[in-house]
Amino acid sequence: MKKEFCEFCMKDTNCKYNERIKEEIINNDKIKYLEKYYVCSECNNEIYGDLLDDNILASNNELRKIHNLITIQEIEEIIEKYHIGKKPLSLVLGLGEVNIIRYLNGANPTKEISDLLKNINNNPFLFELYLDANRDKISAIAYKKSLGKTKQLELTNNHSKLYNVCLYIIHKLAEIDHLSVQKILFFANGFSKVFLGNNLFKDCPEAWIHGPVYREIYDSLSYYKNNKIDYNELSFDRKFNLSNEEINYLDVVIESFGSYSGSILREMTHMTSPWINARLGLETNEVSSRIIDLDEMNEYFKNIYTEYNMHELNDILKYSDKLFKKARKAKFENNK
């Protein structure tokens, strides 16, 4: 027995709680759910009182299942995943400010909005498009916070070889800035043809002012600016999909180049002919997106292999050491 307001007696009365299977047709959908209700002990009429919300939730839930709409848990996942508040998420998706809150409270989105939410849940690149398009509608702090998390997700959702190698480098060095990652990628792919028989990946870098740059990686990592990228912060369980031979090779490349600062590594790549040749005719500070040809890179590193009389992986250290000394000297002369 519970005290409830009986709309027939027009006063609080003692009511008895009941449940039954309810069948209902809503917009041509036939649904079945457990309906809760009270029976007034004085007039014997059925009343819903505070159970109305539960019944709406239960019937919405059935409709949700029939139409395969996004679940409340999945919407909560989006909020958590992209570090975004309920209201900012609504605004970024071009919805009314309180829509997401309504869905979280049990209201059903339309099929169209549900599909959008599902796509966004699976695709950080798509979410970023919405985030950028509507960044004026949310605070700068909310935008930045969410963008950072989205970039991390993009990084971890990309399973190309280039990204696997890139993340392996970040993983090995624990903390590294994105300028250094770019240069180590260049040397790693450069020597791979002679030491592994094949290039690690087919992507070509561009000959930027500050050395060779893989644009896709730049787009993913530039968010970090000059800050160190903390692999643990990316907090994901990644399988790099690299063979033992590739891992052994990469470990030596990382050992050979990983202890230099980003600015020294930049100088070191400035000593290599693939970068120099790609920038022929350009001013030192002229922006360029010219491609550094992979064949030319392979040719250069093949010649280095011969010139340094290389036999084993550890011979890469001879080259990096010499290159470092040249780069240090050049840097010193430039600063005079």
Interface residues toward Zn ion, by CB under 5 A: 6, 8-9, 40, 42-43
Nearer Cβ to Zn ion (43/98): 43
Torsion sign, CA atoms 329, 332, 334, 336: negative
C-alpha–C-alpha distance, residues 169 and 176, integer Å? 9
Nearer Cβ to Zn ion (6/252): 6
Going by C-beta distance under 8 Å and a sequence separation of 6 or more, which residues neighbour residue 35? 19, 20, 21, 22, 55, 58
Nearer Cβ to Zn ion (52/291): 52
Nearer Cβ to Zn ion (18/122): 18
CB of 2 to Zn ion, least distance (A): 13
CB of 121 to Zn ion, least distance (A): 47
Nearer Cβ to Zn ion (6/204): 6
CB of 4 to Zn ion, least distance (A): 9
CB of 49 to Zn ion, least distance (A): 11
Nearer Cβ to Zn ion (42/233): 42
Torsion sign, CA atoms 174, 177, 180, 181: positive
Supply 307's token pair: 């010139």
CB of 39 to Zn ion, least distance (A): 9
CB of 21 to Zn ion, least distance (A): 24
